[in-house]
Amino acid sequence: MGRSLWGWGRRKPPPAADPPEGVPGGGRPPLPALGATLGRLLVALEALVAPPDRDRTRRLVRDFGAPGGAGPRLQERLRRAPPAPPPAAGA
């Protein structure tokens, strides 16, 4: 059984994850397609958004992902951004 997080024996942080397969040199994983991500978002929101607000939520997500909308612009910026440096040891 693990030690208490509040007591004298704090748990050690989990070891760093191995780089994802297919990512040379442990770079960042590939960016998923915006449409797929927005589709998963809508499925997840079904349980969280009240039925009267679902149409508005769908419309907002559709507008976000529309060509020329904020979603594709953000996707392009993420695609062009340099990878973040690895976290410092002991951080």
Q: What is the DSSP string of 2-15?
A: PPPSSSSSPPPPPP
Answer whether residue 69 is part of any domain.
yes
Give Cα separations from 39 to 47, 49, 74 (angstroms): 14, 15, 17
Answer whether residue 14 is part of any domain.
no
Indicate the burial class of 11 (C-beta count within 10 angstroms; 0-12, 13-18, 19 or more): exposed
**65: containing domain:** 51-81
pLDDT tens readout for residues 37-69: 999 999 999 989 998 899 999 999 999 999 999
Answer whether residue 63 is part of any domain.
yes
Answer whether residue 34 is part of any domain.
no
| pLDDT at residue 88, as a whole number | 72
Count of structural domains, the chain: 1
Answer whether residue 61 is part of any domain.
yes
pLDDT tens readout for residues 9-47: 556 655 665 555 555 555 677 889 999 999 999 999 998
Answer whether residue 59 is part of any domain.
yes
